[in-house]
Amino acid sequence: MNRRHVRIVFAALLLMTFIGVVPTASADDPGHLYFIAMGDNGMSGPLVGCGDSVVAVNATLPSASTLAGRVTAALQTLFALHDPYYGMSGLYNALYENTLTVDHVEIQGTVAAVYLSGSAHPRGTCDDPRIEAQVVYTARQFPGLTNAVIVLNGGPMSDARGPDYFPATGHTTQLPFSQYWHANGGLPVFGYPITEQLVEGGYRVQYFERQRMEHHPENAAPYHVLLGLLGVQRANQLGLTGTAPFQHQSPSTNPNCEYFAATGHNLCYGFRAYWHSHGLDFADVGYSYRESLALFGYPISDEFVSGGMTVQYFERARLEWHPENPAPWDVLGGLLGAEVRAAGP
């Protein structure tokens, strides 16, 4: 190589260092890492943090044969960078003090479910959304993916409120489910948590003894957390939907009953009173129809006797009559969360 070629190569390396692109030994898998343009209010990329942008930079990533492997390799490369700024670019690396490890990645449709352990070590509240943006955008960059859901140590990337630990089951609740649990009835309505947060069907979820909470960030509050259709799911698991109580019924003439034309079933006596006296908290006066509907859903059966107990199934619940208990514990919600979780998909 003559002197002219040496000068060209040296100049190219100098330019690459100046713009913040670090050369690597082999081009295994071209991709991107994401960093933060501080205070530019979305001018350089999607708006995140406290008026910042998340910005892609070219990077060479370790090769992997699967999509989950590519996501893992990209995140491991990002987590291995411990400088507060990326090269000479001026882009901020909010993860520079992290001790994160990728435990595993699952591909669920077009969503990468990413399970991490360790600590991101944010330096202030504005770093929380910056860190999550760096991780999410780095994980979701590959063709076929539209989003990434991150579970860190059994919860979200950031939770200023902190986890609630339940010794009875050995699990914690964290945002957004911890706040929802406390605001909407707590233990009598949902039971104890029986899992940490996990990802199912591309959504962050958590199982409780009586319910499954689902985080739907695409919805405005209070519908950003929804309850799973566990009544429907459990009835299907047990093969009940073809039985007589689940077939459409005619409206009852009994004045103690209420007919739900949407599903063709009657709701009577104690179950009717319980349905209307419980619900989610949407700040309505008392318990409104929409609050009760959000908690239980419509009835999908009339009441019937199962295993010597009078029960009735709803889209999101199963109500059980326990005459051996004093009021108000004579009507209880079934442990559908535990049953559905134990039965599996």
Find the DSSP H helices in the chain: 3-18, 67-79, 127-139, 177-183, 186-190, 230-237, 269-276, 289-296, 336-343
- Domain edge (last residue) among 198, 227, 256: 227
pLDDT score at 28: 62
Q: Are residues 312 and 223 in the same domain?
A: no
> Whole-structure pTM over 0.85, yes or no?
no
**Based on the structure, what is the number of domains in the chain?**
3
Q: Are residues 121 and 186 in the same domain?
A: no
The amino acid that residue 234 corresponds to is: R
Q: Which token pair is 278?
A: 């419980």
Place of tokens 């649990």: 181
Q: How far is CA 267 from CA 101, 260, 275, in A?
A: 51, 8, 9
Q: Are residues 126 and 168 in the same domain?
A: no
Would 221 be classed as within a structural domain? Answer: yes
Q: Are residues 239 and 307 in the same domain?
A: yes
Would 3 be classed as within a structural domain? Answer: no
**Alpha carbon distance 275, 267 (integer Å):** 9
Domain that holds residue 61: 17-151
Please report, in tens digits, the pLDDT of each residue of the chain (345 residues total): 444 443 333 333 333 333 333 333 334 678 999 999 999 999 999 999 899 999 999 999 999 999 999 999 999 999 999 999 998 889 999 999 999 999 999 999 999 999 999 999 998 889 999 999 999 999 999 999 999 999 999 999 988 778 999 999 999 999 999 999 999 989 989 999 999 999 999 999 999 999 999 999 999 888 899 999 999 999 999 999 999 999 999 999 999 999 999 999 999 999 999 999 999 988 888 899 999 999 999 999 999 999 999 999 999 999 999 999 998 889 999 999 999 999 986
Would 4 be classed as within a structural domain? Answer: no
pLDDT score at 158: 85
Would 189 be classed as within a structural domain? Answer: yes
Q: Compute CA 57 distance to the chain's CA centroid, rounded to the nearest angstrom.
A: 28
Q: Are residues 141 and 100 in the same domain?
A: yes
**Alpha carbon distance 318, 110 (integer Å):** 32
- Domain edge (last residue) among 116, 151, 186: 151
**Alpha carbon distance 323, 244 (integer Å):** 24
- Domain edge (last residue) among 227, 250, 266: 227
Q: Are residues 214 and 243 in the same domain?
A: no
Three-class SS string for 234-272?
A: HHHHCCCCCCHHHCCCCCCCCCCEEEECCCCEEEEHHHH
Would 1 be classed as within a structural domain? Answer: no
Q: Are residues 124 and 222 in the same domain?
A: no
- Produce one character per residue of 113-122: b if its CB has 16 or more CB atoms within 10 Å, e if not: bbbbeeebeb
Would 157 be classed as within a structural domain? Answer: no
Q: Are residues 99 and 133 in the same domain?
A: yes
The answer for 216, left when phi > 0, alpha when psi is -120 to 50, beta otherwise, is beta
Q: Are residues 140 and 180 in the same domain?
A: no
Nearest to 34 by CA among 134, 146, 150, 139: 134
pLDDT score at 344: 81
Q: Are residues 171 and 266 in the same domain?
A: no
pLDDT score at 83: 96
Concatenated DSSP letters of 48-69: ETTTEEEEEEEEEE---SSHHH
pLDDT score at 9: 35
Would 312 be classed as within a structural domain? Answer: yes
Q: Are residues 33 and 105 in the same domain?
A: yes
Would 10 be classed as within a structural domain? Answer: no
Q: Are residues 331 and 242 in the same domain?
A: yes
- For helices 67-79 and 127-139, what crossing angle results, to 10°? 140
